[in-house]
Structure 1
Amino acid sequence: MNSLDKFPVGSKVKVKEISKEVQIRKRLLEMGIVPGVKLEITGKAPLGDPMEILVRGYKLSLRKNEAVSIIVE
Structure 2
Amino acid sequence: MKSLRDAKVGENLRVAKIEGDGPTKRRIMDMGITKKTELFVRKVAPLGDPVQINLRGYELTIRKHDAENILVEKI
Cα shift at 1:23: 1.8
Q: TM-score, normalised by structure 2?
A: 0.92
Superposition CA RMSD, Å: 0.8
Deviation at 1:46, TM superposition (A): 1.1
Offset from partner CA, 1:9-48 (integer Å, 9 cap, x none): 1111000010032121101111110001100100011111
Q: Take 1:34 and 1:43, find their aligned partners in 2: how far apart are those partners?
A: 20
Q: TM-score if structure 1 supplies the norm length?
A: 0.94
Q: Does residue 1:59 correspond to 2:64, yes or no?
A: no
Runs of 5+ consecutive residues of structure 1 not aligned to the other structure: none
For 2:20 and 2:60, how far apart are their aligned partners in 1?
A: 21
Runs of 4+ in structure 1 deviating by more than 3 angstroms, as ranges, are: none
Aligned equivalents of 2:20 and 2:65: distance in 1? 13
Q: How many residues align?
A: 73
Give 1:1-73 correspondences, 5 Å limit: 1-73=1-73
Structure 2 unaligned residues grouped into runs of 5+: none
